[in-house]
Amino acid sequence: MKKGMMYLVLIYAALVFLGGLMGFVKAGSLISLIVSSFLGGVLIRYGIGIGQNKPYSFEWAIGTMAAILVFFLVRFASTAKFMPAGLMIVVTLVVLGILWMMRAKDKMPVQ
């Protein structure tokens, strides 16, 4: 189950980075590229930590995703445009939900 969580976080990290890269290419937003590179790298670190069973990697990954979610909620509230804020809200909520379900299943006692 840990490997599944790790891969999900790594895929999400790649999406975060690619979103920032698209923001840079389409709108010339250097800050999007910088922040997405940083957050993508942080999420890669925590994803690998989850796979290696490092303490608190799961919690830090969830916290990082929650911060990304808050950022895009604020962005969506100010622009009311689905792209990219609305899409990232949906993707982040789906990933968080899947991670929480995987975590709950992982912690269930074996019968």
- Token pair of 41 as six digits: 């790298």
Per-residue confidence band for 106, with pLDDT thresholds at 50, 70 and 90: confident
Q: What is the pLDDT of residues 32-47, one digit of tens each?
A: 999 999 999 999 999 9
Q: What is the pLDDT of residues 54-94, one digit of tens each?
A: 999 999 999 999 999 999 999 999 999 999 999 999 999 99
The model's pTM: 0.91
Q: What is the DSSP string of 13-71?
A: HHHHHHHHHHHHHHH--HHHHHHHHHHHHHHHHHHHHHHTT-TTHHHHHHHHHHHHHHH
| Domain parsing of the chain, residue ranges | 1-103
Residue 3 has pLDDT above 60, yes or no: yes
If DSSP codes are grouped into helix, strand and coil, which group holds residue 4? helix
Greater confidence, 1 or 100? 100
